[in-house]
Chain A
């Protein structure tokens, strides 16, 4: 890495990047049933995984792309790392002290494929009182379930003002990790 590139990386707005990267890691890890207070397969934590991602960016500057925002790239690395962990032989959920490490948990891939997983996530969300009893939220989650992922698209599809969609998305962010953790407990293939 040239000194200029190294300096440029150091001068990134890490204060803004870190919370967003942590949030991304938590949201993505939730898909595999891993919450922030749990030990990931192979023994690390989400904290460790985010640190390793940042370290990797410094140590492998060739991965840096000037045409993609740094946060987007870092989230991509986090997503890849979590995917790799989900495929590892010891991809079982462990919480220090309260789970038998020998207990078998089927690997993520054995349990579901992506389409099933997504539809199950939507079904679970629609059962949550905060979604079920809120007509706007219900509309938005239903729209997402039918394949609308951009806020303007969701707004058009549901007739909700775009600001309302953003507001609901914030609320959904608080709800989703807890629901995602259930993806591995309810309705899997195994």
Chain B
């Protein structure tokens, strides 16, 4: 019998019946204490686990974001002399999130206000410069 076979088995359904949620948290705690479970200690430890996991994941996420920012290529280099097609290629990369989620959000917001290929060369160049400066790219 595989784990999948056990889905919704009679035992599972019986356990689900028992675990039905008509009890208040206090009632569940009292019921566990009656069974001799040191539930208060366990709950306290679990709150610690949540806090620790949150801190660890937050740290990882910030590190990921910082890494993403530092590895973003200088897509604004040579912008002044770029043809529209080249700028549109950069725009597509931004919209796909290839260069970081912070640029992606900005690009998608730009798309909602009109197709980028409808912009003039100068408008597109100006938009890329603005986005680059907001997120720290010096450009040109």
Report A's interface with B, CB cutoff 8 A. 1-3, 6, 9-10, 14-16, 18-20, 22-24, 26-28, 31, 36-37, 47, 50-51, 54-55, 58-59, 75, 79-80, 83-84, 109, 113-115, 117-118, 121, 144, 147, 149-151, 166, 169-170, 172-174, 176-177
Which residue of chain B is the closest to A178 with respect to CB atoms? B35
B45 in contact with A6 (CB, 8 Å): no
User: Is the C-beta of B17 less than 8 angstroms from some C-beta in chain A?
Assistant: yes
Which residue of chain A is the closest to B101 with respect to CB atoms? A2
- Return 14 A-B CB contacts under 8 Å, by A number: A6-B54, A9-B54, A14-B47, A18-B43, A22-B43, A28-B15, A31-B11, A36-B37, A51-B49, A58-B54, A80-B3, A114-B6, A115-B10, A172-B18
A174 in contact with B31 (CB, 8 Å): yes
B21 in contact with A20 (CB, 8 Å): yes
Interface magnitude class on chain B: 35 or more
Q: Which of B18, B22, B27, B56 has the most CB of A within 10 A?
A: B18
List of A residues within 8 angstroms of B28 by Cβ:
19-20, 23
B22 in contact with A169 (CB, 8 Å): yes
User: Is the C-beta of B77 less than 8 angstroms from some C-beta in chain A?
Assistant: no
- A117: which of B11, B19, B20, B57 is its contact (CB, 8 Å)? B11
User: Is the C-beta of B1 less than 8 angstroms from some C-beta in chain A?
Assistant: yes
Bound Cα distance A109, B56 (Å): 38
User: Is the C-beta of B23 less than 8 angstroms from some C-beta in chain A?
Assistant: yes
B4 to A: closest C-beta gap in Å: 10
Bound Cα distance A149, B13 (Å): 6
- A54: which of B11, B37, B53 is its contact (CB, 8 Å)? B53
List of A residues within 8 angstroms of B18 by Cβ:
27, 169, 172-173, 176
A118 in contact with B19 (CB, 8 Å): no
